[in-house]
Amino acid sequence: MSTESSLKAFEEAQELIPGGVNSPVRAFASVGGSPLFIKEAKGAYLTDLDGNKYVDFVQSWGPLIFGHRDETIESAVLKAVKHGLSFGAPTQVETDLASLVISMFDSIDKVRFVSSGTEAVMSAIRLARGFTGRDDIVKFVGCYHGHSDSLLVEAGSGAATFGNPSSPGVPADFTKHTLLATYNDIESIKKCFADSKDIACIIIEPIAGNMGLVPADKEFLLELRKLCDANGTLLIFDEVMSGFRASINGAESIVGVKPDILTLGKVIGGGMPVGAFGARKEIMAKLSPEGPVYQAGTLSGNPIAMAAGFAALSKLKQNAKVMSVLNARAVRLVEGMKAEATKVGIPMQVETRGSMFGFFFNENEVKNFADAGKTDAELFAKFHQEMLQEGFYFACSLYETGFISTATTDEMIEETIKASAKVFAKITNA
Ligand X SMILES: *Cc1c(COP(=O)(O)O)cnc(C)c1O
Amino acid at 400: E
Stretch that binds ligand X, among 30-38, 112-120, 132-140, 363-371 (CB under 6 A): 112-120
45, 54, 144, 399: the catalytic one is 144
- Tell me the DSSP string of 315-376: HHHHTTTHHHHHHHHHHHHHHHHHHHHHHTT---EEEEETTEEEEE--SS---SHHHHTTS-
Question: Is 265 a residue that touches ligand X (CB under 6 A)?
Answer: yes
Give the interface segment with ligand X, choosing from 134-142, 171-179, 186-194, 234-242 (CB under 6 A): 234-242
Cβ proximity to ligand X: between 26 and 317 the closer is 26
Given candidates 6, 52, 118, 132, which one binds ligand X under the rule CB under 6 A?
A: 118
Nearest CA-CA partner of 62 in 237, 269, 214, 215: 269
Interface with ligand X, residue 121, by CB under 6 A: yes
Give me the amino acid identity at 366.
V
Active site residue 229: no
Question: Residue 215, interface with ligand X (CB under 6 A)?
Answer: no
Of 49, 241, 264, 398, the one binding ligand X (CB under 6 A) is 241
- Compute how many other C-beta atoms are within 10 angstroms of the C-beta atom of residue 156: 27
Q: Regarding beta strands 110-114 and 275-279, do their DSSP bridges make them parallel or antiparallel, or are they unpaired?
A: antiparallel
Q: Judged by CB, which is closer to ligand X: 9, or 221?
A: 221
Residues 126-155 that bind ligand X (CB under 6 A): 144-146
Residue whose CB is nearest to ligand X in the complex, by number? 117
Q: Confirm whether 238 is a catalytic residue.
A: yes
- How many other β-carbons are positioned within 10 Å of the β-carbon of residue 226? 12
Give the angle subtended at the CA of 98 by the CAs of 280 and 273, to the nearest 5°.
115
DSSP 365-394: ---SHHHHTTS-HHHHHHHHHHHHHTTEE-
Min dist CB 121 to ligand X, Å, is 5
Set 110, 266, 286, 315: catalytic member: 266
The residue (of 91 and 263) whose beta carbon lies closer to ligand X is: 263
The least CB distance from residue 389 to ligand X, in Å, is: 28
Of 25 and 192, the one with the shorter C-beta distance to ligand X is 25
Which of 55, 240, 257, 417 is the binder for ligand X (CB under 6 A)? 240
| CA–CA gap between residue 27 and residue 72 (Å, rounded) | 31
Footprint of ligand X on 269-328 (CB under 6 A): 275
- Beta bridge pairs of residue 55: 45, 392
| CB-count exposure of residue 77 (10 Å: 0-12, 13-18, 19+) | middle
Q: Which stretch binds ligand X (CB under 6 A): 44-52, 75-83, 89-97, 117-125?
A: 117-125
CB nearer ligand X, residue 214 or residue 341: 214
Q: Please, which residue, 49 or 330, has the CB nearer to ligand X?
A: 330
Pairwise CA distance, residues 422 & 430, whole Å: 12
* Residue 205 C-beta: closest distance to ligand X, Å: 5
Do 63 and 401 meet the contact criterion of CB atoms below 8 Å apart?
Answer: no
Single residue of 70, 94, 154, 238 touching ligand X by CB under 6 A: 238
The yes-or-no answer on residue 173 being catalytic is no
Q: Which stretch binds ligand X (CB under 6 A): 41-49, 84-92, 237-245, 320-328?
A: 237-245
Q: Which is nearer to ligand X, 3 or 118 (CB)?
A: 118
Catalytic residue, candidates 48, 238, 260, 371: 238
Stretch 175-214 residues interacting with ligand X (CB under 6 A): 205, 209-210
Long-range contacts of 86-92 (CB under 8 A, 24+ apart): 86/299, 86/302, 86/303, 86/304, 87/303, 88/298, 90/301, 91/301, 91/303, 91/306
Q: Please name the residues in contact with 160: beta carbons below 8 A apart, sequence gap of 6 or more.
A: 142, 211, 369, 399
Q: Give the neighbor-by-neighbor strand order of the sheet with 45-48.
A: 38-42, 45-48, 53-56, 392-393
CA distances from 200 to 25, 42, 179, 189 (A): 31, 44, 11, 13
In the bound state with ligand X, the residue whose beta carbon lies nearer, of 144 and 403, is: 144
Nearest distance, CB of residue 37 and ligand X, angstroms: 20
Give the C-alpha separation, 347 to 356, whole Å.
21
Interface with ligand X by CB under 6 A: which range of 45-53, 87-95, 113-121, 407-415?
Answer: 113-121
Which residue numbers are catalytic? Answer: 144, 238, 266
Binding-site ranges for ligand X (CB under 6 A): 116-118, 121, 144-146, 205, 209-210, 238, 240-241, 265, 275
